[in-house]
Structure 1
Amino acid sequence: MLAAFLDDIRDGDLIAPKRMADRLRLPLTRLSKLAHLNRNVMTSRPESPAVQEKLGQIARIIARAADLSGEEGRAIIWFKYQPIPGWGKTAEELVEEGHADAVLEDLERMAEGVYS
């Protein structure tokens, strides 16, 4: 699951913002808000370490959720619409608020069989 998702959003060694937005079914402006990046910088300088780090966080969340659910489509729906127990917010909302690490930690706990 991880490899397929990452292959689809990469351009060479970089995460391509447009490809990621397409896979997540989001406009680029929404992806830039989620990643806390300026849309113009995100698209004109995708090689920037800051752009790659922020997009990488989102990619890791989707890939990990896809590993747990067994399907990329389910992972994307979960990311966008399913509130996380204990948070009362979706993964997308938490990422937008700057809590991507907390979402990844929650996913790791789920992988270990611990649910909030």
Structure 2
Amino acid sequence: MGQALKTPVQNESLVLSYMDRAGKIAIDQVAGSFGMSKSQLAETTGLARETLYRLERSRTAKTQGRLREMLEIISRVADWAGGKEQAMAWYRAQPLPAFGGRTAEALVKEGKAAAVRDYLDHMALGGFA
């Protein structure tokens, strides 16, 4: 990894860039930004498809938390991946040796986003996979 991963404070900027005036992550904006439908975004985050189509469900703590986790991880790798689109591709497809070859996407779906963040922090400090 040639470039350092972003610090937690820098990670907030990507998350904040998708916030609406109510302080919620704007799902249409996230999906559009990554060239996805709401259904594809739901699949990527491990949420039921209808969750992102129903306003009341899209604004729950669980839904917002899962979206935040995904965006935080993408933000951490965006610089060295070559941008947020490439970071999304990494998130969805790159097997992580430290996790038995599972992807960041699979781990977030399992509720293990903190483990991915810890792993990325470890790598940023020069650790090995």
Q: Contact between 1:81 and 1:90, CA under 8 Å: does it hold in 2?
A: yes
Identity %: 30
1:32-47 matched pairs, under 5 angstroms: 32-43=42-53, 44-45=55-56, 46-47=58-59
Provide, for residues 30-86 of structure 1, a one-character-per-residue CA deviation record: whole Å limited to 9, x for no partner. Answer: 322343433333331233222211111111111111145463233122112221122
Which has the higher relative contact order, 1 or 2, with Cα contacts under 8 A spaced 6 or more apart?
Answer: 2
Q: Using the alignment, how far apart are the partners of 2:86 and 2:116 within structure 1?
A: 16
TM-score (norm 1): 0.76
Equivalent residue, structure 2, for 1:110: 123
- Pick which of 88-97 and 56-65 moved more: 88-97
For these two proteins, the number of residue pairs brought into alignment is 115
Provide, for residues 3-45 of structure 1, a one-character-per-residue CA deviation record: whole Å limited to 9, x for no partner. Answer: 2x33543322211122222233333223223434333333312
Equivalent residue, structure 2, for 1:21: 31
User: What amino acid sits opposite 2:71 in the alignment?
Assistant: A
Equivalent residue, structure 2, for 1:9: 18
Q: Contact between 1:35 and 1:55, CA under 8 Å: does it hold in 2?
A: yes
Unaligned runs of 5+ in 1: none
Whose Rg is larger? 2
Q: Contact between 2:74 and 2:91, CA under 8 Å: does it hold in 1?
A: yes
Q: Using the alignment, how far apart are the partners of 1:59 and 1:92 within structure 2?
A: 11
